[in-house]
């Protein structure tokens, strides 16, 4: 009997021990699951923080808008599991959004233009929050790996209530956004808005530095930069290039008689005539004072002379502010000889001087085959005694 009692007690203790061990293992397993979930959350938080940090760093270190947009796109796309992405920006004076950056899209992807009042933008922009929108066959761009995405996660980009653009992350399946994901994407949009504003300010500063304030034409610095580009292009494609120097005749008399304000109005009007007479691909600039210049790409001497005569006649027929009738003198230089490209500006200037010396209100064409003339000497001004 004593042995049986001992065995019973031992058996009970073994059962109790097994129960305790099982409960302990279950608790440990539960703790491990909780730790794994916590680590997962921590990893997600790290990814979100890394994304916003990367974009903020790009914004603060670069004025290149495309670089910042690409950082935002690729990082956000990775976090959201997107197969591709695109960034659309509003252009001043335009009602549409244009694609400015993308990844994993074909070179000729559809949907390069988005209308604010049409899907996939209208719903997200109307709600001003990230939304997943179904794409149709016209709005779904092509993917590099083939096919077209079925859905787009659209993230509006705004600053101070003003729409600046939208980010589209392309998805293969529909999904509901969590609150954390929406907050993350709003953070990305805020950083992108800062980058866009920085780029706009920088572009405005550059434009001001290269634009004549009075006439709104490119200034002399911009003219020099464009002339170098046009010479390189003409040399690369073996094309002719022409340069026109234009001077408003007797402009000093306009200022002396009618005042500088009227003189400024005359110069502004002349700039409009010149700009409207040139082709969109040509460069019309204010060289300085009452002198203007035109760069005509793929234009022979004959073509340049025809255009110069047309401009001269148009100015002569115009009535300028104050009821003034004015004329211009034009010097033309053109060649398809790349070795002479660098002489075009000086040759046109010499031809302009010859036109003014010959009585003004006329066009003179430089002889590019003749030796380069020496720089002309300006006539000394006669000072009143």
Question: Annotated catalytic sites, by residue?
Answer: 290
Which residue is associated with the tokens 């340049």? 304
b/e map 12-49, b = 16+ CB within 10 Å: eeeeeeeeeeeeeeeeeeeeeeeeeeeeeeeeeeeebe
| 351 within 8 A of 368, measured Cβ to Cβ | no
- How far is it, in rounded angstroms, from Cα 246 to Cα 278? 13
| 275 within 8 A of 217, measured Cβ to Cβ | yes
| CA angle centred on 223, ends 219 and 225, rounded to 5° | 120
Q: Which two tokens stand for residue 307?
A: 């255009």
Cβ-proximal residues to 78 (8 Å cutoff; 6+ apart), any chain: none
Is the bond into 328 cis (omega within 30 degrees of 0)? no
């Amino acid at each position: 009997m004593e042995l049986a009692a001992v065995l019973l007690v031992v058996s009970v203790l073994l059962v109790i021990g097994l129960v305790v061990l099982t409960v302990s293992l279950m608790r440990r397993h539960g703790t491990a699951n909780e730790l794994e979930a916590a680590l997962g959350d921590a990893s997600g938080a790290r990814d979100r923080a890394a994304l916003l940090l990367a974009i903020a760093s790009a914004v603060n270190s670069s004025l290149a808008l495309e670089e910042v947009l690409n950082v935002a796109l690729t990082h956000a796309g990775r976090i959201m599991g997107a197969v591709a992405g695109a960034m659309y920006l509003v252009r001043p004076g335009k009602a549409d959004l244009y694609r400015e950056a993308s990844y994993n899209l074909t070179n000729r992807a559809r949907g390069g233009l988005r209308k604010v009042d049409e899907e996939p933008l209208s719903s997200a922009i109307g709600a001003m929050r990230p939304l997943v929108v179904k794409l149709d066959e016209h709005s779904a761009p092509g993917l590099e790996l083939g096919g077209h995405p079925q859905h787009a996660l659209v993230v509006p980009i705004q600053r101070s209530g003003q729409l600046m653009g939208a980010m589209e992350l392309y998805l293969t399946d529909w999904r509901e956004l969590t609150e954390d994901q929406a907050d993350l994407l709003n953070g990305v949009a805020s950083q992108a808005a800062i980058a866009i504003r920085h780029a706009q300010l920088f572009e405005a500063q550059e434009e001001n530095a290269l634009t004549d304030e009075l006439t709104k034409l490119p200034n002399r610095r911009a003219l020099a930069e464009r002339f170098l580009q046009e010479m390189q292009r003409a040399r690369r494609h073996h094309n002719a290039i022409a340069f026109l120097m234009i001077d408003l005749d007797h402009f000093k008399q306009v200022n002396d008689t009618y005042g500088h304000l009227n003189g400024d109005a005359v110069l502004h009007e002349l700039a409009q005539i010149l700009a409207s007479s040139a082709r969109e691909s040509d460069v019309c600039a204010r060289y300085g004072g009452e002198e203007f210049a035109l760069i005509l790409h793929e234009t022979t001497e004959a073509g340049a002379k025809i255009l110069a005569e047309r401009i001269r006649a148009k100015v002569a027929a115009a009535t300028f502010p104050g009821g003034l009738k004015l004329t211009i003198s034009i010097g033309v230089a053109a060649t398809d000889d790349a070795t002479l490209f660098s002489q075009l500006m000086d040759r046109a200037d010499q031809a302009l001087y010859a036109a003014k010396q010959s009585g003004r209100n006329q066009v003179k064409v430089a002889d590019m085959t003749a030796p380069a003339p020496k720089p002309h000497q300006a006539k000394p001004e006669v000072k009143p005694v």
